[in-house]
Amino acid sequence: MTSSNRVTLKPGDTIGILGGGQLGRMIALAAARLGLKAQVFSPDPDSPAFDVVQNATCAEYADVEALELFASDVGVITYEFENIPSSTAMILAARRTVLPDPKVLETTQDRLAEKDFVTKLGIGTARYADVSSAQDLKAAIAAIGLPAVLKTRRFGYDGKGQIVVREGADPDQVWADLETRSAILEAFVPFEREISVVAARSADGEVVCYDVTENEHRDHILKFSYAPARIPDALAAQARAIAEKIANALDYVGVLAVEMFVVPGKDGPALLVNEIAPRVHNSGHWTLDGASVSQFEQHVRAIAGWPLAHPVRHGDVTMTNLIGDDVLDYGQWLTKPGATVHLYGKGAPRPGRKMGHVTEVKAPSK
Ligand code: AMP
């Protein structure tokens, strides 16, 4: 394996991006602004990221020859989604520096490993238990209580691979419905709000966090982000400290997001970590128009071995996701004063598909 987590690119060099979705597209656009080229690797010929780069590799993630060629074409490799097959990551990392280091994925691809990791750092999470059978589920319910959320350990996103277990539910049926062999049961968190911290860490170990973002979901999919989050400053500082601790413990290079719940506590609101996303994140899209340097540029800087920015927020920012048919209203958004529209160039809108987003910046309230 290539052991270094440090590269130094020059303008004109190429970053390789695994994955061709909107995140890859926005990373490639940020790279272009800094005079860097991007090459996108994706098995989907309709990848939105292909539209904005000159060099694209359309091949399966198991295609060793294509991966080897890709690795030889680029100066550093990054990824825009976390479910990279570990064999793909190994093949690439043996030939080229991959940032963030794919060993991070062993922790973040598995909800149990992730919760254990966070807990060992002394950071709070919802109570949880390992569940591999209906029998385990019954024991976990007895230990954790109801309501609770049963989640697949791997490959869950946007609420997929999870079932809320309520009083009176039949554990055998719930277990059968999840259609998995390995899961965790989490206590249902009666959160006041959901927040996230988007943070960047350089190879030198410097960590720069954006202002804490508040997130609202509809049908388990992010709908609105607000920056700054409407929480006390001390709690925001705690949230940033948690993200920094996690980034340092992972020896992370690049941008990551840490999703947290704000819960009422006897000494005021407290934080529980829900999830770590080892990549640029939807809740950081507001930074494209609401901050002097976006999360995408910050990620490019980190993996290129360039200095991190210390971004200035331009005001109070609202980000609205255009999900499915929402995108059909793009004409109205285009005429709304103060709104900046981002469309991802995807084909037909499907329910739940992220098609674009809009940012609105108002003069700062604090
Ligand atoms: P996740 O896939 O873990 O990010 O979960 C998606 C969404 O489901 C979260 O953003 C929450 O809105 C909700 N959720 C997940 N876990 C819990 C929990 N333990 N308690 C309450 N709501 C949850």
Nearest one of 292, 352, 322 to 33, comparing CA atoms: 292
The predicted model gives 271-297 an average pLDDT of 98
Least confident of 95-104, 155-164, 248-257, 280-289: 155-164
Rounded to the nearest angstrom, the distance between the alpha carbon of 275 and the centre of ligand 1 is 9
Atom of ligand 1 nearest to the CA of 189: 20
Give the pTM: 0.96
pLDDT band at 366 (very low <50, low <70, confident <90, very high): low
Taking CA atoms only, the protein residue closest to ligand 1 atom 1 is 159
Residue pair 83/60 in contact by the 8 Å Cβ criterion: no
Residue pair 218/318 in contact by the 8 Å Cβ criterion: no
Q: What is the pLDDT of residues 327-337, one digit of tens each?
A: 999 999 999 99
Q: What is the pLDDT of residues 24-68, one digit of tens each?
A: 999 999 999 999 999 999 999 999 999 999 999 999 999 999 999
State which of 144, 220, 271 you would mutate to test the pocket of ligand 1, scoring each by most atoms of that ligand within 8 A of its C-beta.
Answer: 220
pLDDT band at 1 (very low <50, low <70, confident <90, very high): very low
Rounded to the nearest angstrom, the distance between the alpha carbon of 159 and the centre of ligand 1 is 7
pLDDT band at 6 (very low <50, low <70, confident <90, very high): confident
Atom of ligand 1 nearest to the CA of 162: 2
Secondary structure string (H, E, C) spanning 284-320: HCCHHHHECCCHHHHHHHHHHCCCCCCCCECCEEEEE
List residues near ligand 1 (CB under 6 A).
Answer: 126, 149, 156, 159, 186, 188-189, 194, 217, 220, 259, 274-275
